[in-house]
Amino acid sequence: MFQIIILSIIIGLIDSSNILTSYNYKKISQMSYINLLYLFSIWLTLAILIFFFIINRQDYSLLSILFNGPLLGFGIYWIFNILNIMLNPSIKMSLGIYNTIWGMILITSSTLIHKLIF
């Protein structure tokens, strides 16, 4: 459980850099507490998925991270983005692609940092 919490913090720190550069600070500072709770739940969920689908594997290694990290990130973020685009047609596909690439980078880099720590 401790590793999942640390991994959630790592994900939150990396993802915050993207959030703060993608949106203006005023929007972030006006976020409600419930939205912040949702954000923390996303980071915790990603940490649990990374732990069970990448870290907890028998072949957990640098090569495994470099293969499975982007694959897991792609699967999670692509499904989420396509669903959002379907439900809200004003969202452009380019944003979905950017966000999917970001998810692949986020999952892989967070897992690599976890590997360095543990």
pLDDT confidence of residue 19: 76
Burial 74-102 (b: 16+ CB within 10 A, else e): ebbbbeebeeeeeeeeeeeeeebeebbeb
Identify whether the C-beta of residue 28 lies closer than 8 Å to the C-beta of residue 63.
no
pLDDT of 107 reads 98
Span 25-45, pLDDT tens digits: 666 667 788 988 998 999 999
Tell me what pLDDT residue 35 has: 83
**3 Cβ contact list (under 8 Å, min separation 6):** 51, 55, 114, 118
Mind listing the pLDDT tens digit for each residue in 51-104?
999 999 999 999 999 999 999 999 999 999 999 999 999 999 999 999 999 999
